[in-house]
Structure 1
Amino acid sequence: MNVKWDQDVCQHAGVCVTEYPSLYKIEDGQFVITLENASEEQIRESVQRCPSGALKIED
Structure 2
Amino acid sequence: MRVHSDADACVGAGQCVVLAPAVFDLDDDGKVVVLHGAPPEEQRSRVADAVAACPSFAIEIEDRA
User: What is the TM-score normalised by the length of structure 2?
Assistant: 0.66
Structure 1: which 5+ residue stretches go unaligned? none
Q: Taking every aligned residue pair, what percent have the same amino acid on both sides? A: 34
* Structure-2 separation of matches of 1:52 and 1:27: 16
Segment of structure 1 superposing worse, 31-40 or 16-25:
31-40
Deviations 1:3-58 (A, max 9, x none): 11011111011111123212212478882332226332222122111111000111
User: What is the TM-score normalised by the length of structure 1?
Assistant: 0.71
The alpha-carbon distance between structure 1 residues 44 and 19, as it changes in their structure 2 partners (threshold 3 A), is closer
Greater fraction strand = 1
* Structure-1 separation of matches of 2:19 and 2:43: 15
* Structure-2 separation of matches of 1:52 and 1:21: 18
Are residue 50 (structure 1) and residue 35 (structure 2) matched? no
